[in-house]
Amino acid sequence: MADDRFHVYDTTLRDGAQQEGLNLTVADKLVVARQLDGLGVGFIEGGWPGANPKDTEFFRRAQTELDLKHAQLAAFGATRRAGVKAADDPLVAALRESGAPVVTLVAKSHDRHVELALRTTLQENLAMIRDTVSHLRAEGQRVFLDAEHFFDGYRSNPAYALEVIRTAAEAGADVIALCDTNGGMLPDELAEIVHEAVQTSARVGIHCHDDTGCAVANTLAAVKAGATHVQGCANGYGERSGNANLFTVVANLQLKRGFDLVPPTALADMTRVAHAITEVTNVTPNSHAPYVGTSAFAHKAGLHASAIKVDPNLYQHIDPAAVGNDMRMLVSDMAGRASVELKGRELGYELTPENTKTLVARVKDLESRGFTFEAADASFELLLRDTVHGERTRHFEVESWRVIVERTKGGELVSEATVKLHAKGERIVATGEGNGPVNALDKAVRLALEKLYPELAKLELVDYKVRILEGTHGTGAITRVLITSSDDRAEWATVGVAENIIEASWQALEQAVTYGLLRAGHKTA
């Protein structure tokens, strides 16, 4: 477990998930949590159990499916409702029963919000904090408090805002995280207020939003003023302008301020982690992101080029290797190497040095063409098997497929797919209808194979992600499709890349079915 003297607290799965256009399934959240744990963060806020069924499920599945090495899970929730006991409040019960060792309670610290939004008295709000914190502490959980709208609240009524901190700390909250919920603060004033909050002798944390473009600067200013707990999100995800970018915060504190927050080897993996998370969130990575962007250490040829050759340090603020980046990083190269070395072992395959070399070369080649294996474990495993066995894994051979999309006179869109394939010595032709071309193809393939492989009835397509990748070297844009499938016991993801979206989908679909059949114990034909 991480050192408790300074907390790195990630809220990607709760606050970061508020970003417009960002939707995470429970499986996605588990993948992101594993990546963050690998990076060495101390706490991962998983969501709001009880208030959101998907988050309740996340905490349930996390207990058996997440084997965290560094981080502890935190469940997020509110203080009890006004006028009831914390012990009787069903939402507080959901936090208690989440299985998370830490609960982060959000509480109002702005007097006007208490009266207008919560519609209760200032005294009752303090009682709600005291009762909920002490109840959860007594039940054995560690409690942090997110003081919502703290800075605006301090401006409105400093005595009350500080009283909220004192009340929570006296009731047993370990940390009071001061939240710049509206994100409007600038570093100088924020630091002064944090300094006042630290005088209460409570342990103070900081939670910033980037509405003034100062979320990271504000976080650093708060640390200088005495905060010992920083909150933020992977890649700066979050609603509006986003939350403080946790990667930037950690790199700044560790490389510029000498904090010992995550293992140096994990920090040197940060660029890969940042990109791996974008594959799951399906948010295009920001190439200009500090430290981890592909352009973060890229220099235009010309003026700098000759001097860089003599001494690269003249033109860069850190050694890019410290965060796993490069003067001109090829994400694919790095991701490929890491995928092969780590995942091969994870999957339990004994790879000879020769196999490893071949596989690294294949992964690099495929990733340079737009494939990604960070988010497509099943495709990676198929590639690995093919390399080890020296032949392609397949249970069926495709002769041809065809998809028709028709807009009927009534304006209805209907898709129909026909697949012709060979399996177990038979030639099979099947037709499927669906609400879209990929759905129709999926149905046709399964219809074709179900008689030979009845287990396919259980196979389900649970998620479908598309990303258009910019073409390189004069080629047009290409489409990458990631498909997540499940068989009621596990989920797996496959990837396809092509200029045509249906072809990309087909590739991912074919692998999804192949992997499903392998899981069901079918040796290849």
Q: Which residues of the chain form contacts with Zn ion (CB under 5 A)?
A: 15
Burial of 392 (0-12, 13-18, 19+ CB in 10 A): exposed
Which tokens sit at 119? 């519609």
As measured in angstroms, the least distance from the Cβ of 209 to Zn ion is 6
Task: Give the residue with the Cβ less far from Zn ion, 15 or 269.
Answer: 15
Q: CA-to-CA distance for 453 and 525, rounded, in angstroms?
A: 12
- The residue nearest Zn ion at its CB is 15
As measured in angstroms, the least distance from the Cβ of 17 to Zn ion is 11
Run of H or E residues at 415: strand 413-423
| Angle separating helix axes 270-281 and 26-39, nearest 10 degrees | 170
Residue 258: partners with Cβ closer than 8 Å, 6 or more residues away: none
Phi, then psi, of 398 in degrees rounded to 5: -90, 130
As measured in angstroms, the least distance from the Cβ of 181 to Zn ion is 6
Task: Give the residue with the Cβ less far from Zn ion, 9 or 371.
Answer: 9
Task: Give the residue with the Cβ less far from Zn ion, 14 or 34.
Answer: 14
Which tokens sit at 150? 């703290």
Q: CA-to-CA distance for 39 and 269, rounded, in angstroms?
A: 7
As measured in angstroms, the least distance from the Cβ of 18 to Zn ion is 8
As measured in angstroms, the least distance from the Cβ of 492 to Zn ion is 33
Task: Give the residue with the Cβ less far from Zn ion, 15 or 111.
Answer: 15
- How many CA atoms lie within 13 Å of 414's alpha carbon, on the beta-carbon side? 9
As measured in angstroms, the least distance from the Cβ of 150 to Zn ion is 11
- Asked if 263 contacts 254 with a C-beta cutoff of 8 angstroms, the reply is no
Task: Give the residue with the Cβ less far from Zn ion, 165 or 440.
Answer: 165
Pick the closest to residue 341 from 331, 351, 330 (CA basis).
351
Q: Tell me if residue 118 falls in helix, strand or coil.
A: coil
Task: Give the residue with the Cβ less far from Zn ion, 15 or 28.
Answer: 15
Task: Give the residue with the Cβ less far from Zn ion, 15 or 381.
Answer: 15
As measured in angstroms, the least distance from the Cβ of 239 to Zn ion is 8
- Asked if 298 contacts 325 with a C-beta cutoff of 8 angstroms, the reply is no
Run of H or E residues at 495: strand 491-498
As measured in angstroms, the least distance from the Cβ of 19 to Zn ion is 11
As measured in angstroms, the least distance from the Cβ of 48 to Zn ion is 13
The residues with which 468 forms a beta bridge, in sequence order, are 479
In one-letter notation, the amino acid at residue 209 is H
Task: Give the residue with the Cβ less far from Zn ion, 104 or 252.
Answer: 104
- Asked if 138 contacts 98 with a C-beta cutoff of 8 angstroms, the reply is no
Q: CA-to-CA distance for 51 and 472, rounded, in angstroms?
A: 45
Task: Give the residue with the Cβ less far from Zn ion, 16 or 516.
Answer: 16
